[in-house]
Amino acid sequence: MDKFTNLTGVAAPLPMINVDTDMIIPKQFLKTIKRTGLGTHLFDEMRYNDDGSEKSDFVLNCEPYRSAEILITDENFGCGSSREHAPWALLDFGIRCVIAPSFADIFFNNCVNNGILAITLPHEEVHALLQDADGGHNARFTVDLESQTIMRPDGTTLSFEIEPARKHRLLNGLDPIGMSLQKDEEISAFESKAADERPWL
């Protein structure tokens, strides 16, 4: 998993409440267990017409948001089913940070497990950022995880909270397996001791 330290990039505004995981990555694309290739189908039903052509008014089909690395959205983002393909699709598209007033719990946890920084801010601050993000090429933000700040396009900053354990994992690029491997010596010592004490196991 890639480390998340700081990120400067374009932020795409998606002012929608209750965006569920089926909207993020529709069910027909869940047949794969690969984490790559899903970005093409991110928000598939909102991005494409029935004939496969792009909907010109959807934000991620417009410049400069085609290369957005930050997504700013509204209440209860990632609700619905617990599919891990949702953060996979965001990450494969290039989104490393999502900012919203609230997230569904499972989606929020799946984000940190995949190296995406999900930031919760008060409603009024998110809406100020959504207005900033409407600035197109000027909608560049800097998200600094170490200092827990977001620099807006005008140079002002906002602070955000994050649990220390989540911060540690993102800064060090540790998924659940990586967290376990940090205890590799302790695990090996336990297994060796258990083998000595209970050789019949």
Kindly report, residue by residue over 172-187, the tens digit of the pLDDT.
998 765 665 565 566 5
> d(Cα 132, Cα 13) in Å, to the nearest integer?
9
The top-level CATH class assigned to 6-174 is: alpha beta
Which strands make up the sheet holding 97-100, listed edge to edge?
Answer: 117-120, 97-100, 70-73, 6-14, 140-144, 149-151, 157-159
Q: What stretches of 46-185 adopt beta strand conformation (E)? A: 70-73, 97-100, 117-120, 140-144, 149-151, 157-159
DSSP H or E run through 113: helix 105-113
Higher confidence at residue 199 or residue 58?
58
pLDDT recorded at residue 195:
67
pLDDT at 184: 59
**DSSP bridge pairs for 141:** 9
Gap between the Cα atoms of 52 and 162, Å rounded:
39
pLDDT band of 139, cuts 50, 70, 90: confident
pLDDT: which is higher, 87 or 135: 87
- Give mean pLDDT, residues 118-144: 95
For 37: left if phi > 0, alpha if psi spans -120 to 50, otherwise beta; the answer is left
42 and 93 Cβ atoms separated by less than 8 Å: yes
How does pLDDT run across 37-93, given as a tens digit for each residue?
999 999 999 999 999 999 999 999 999 999 999 999 999 999 999 899 999 999 999
User: Domain extents for the chain?
Assistant: 6-174
Sign of the CA dihedral running 13, 66, 152, 175: positive
Please state, in angstroms and rounded to a whole number, the distance separating the CA atoms of residues 54 and 31. 23
Q: Hunting for tokens 């900033």 — which residue is that?
A: 132
Q: Are 87 and 79 in contact (CB under 8 A)?
A: no
Q: How far is CA 159 from CA 56, 143, 149, in A?
A: 34, 10, 4
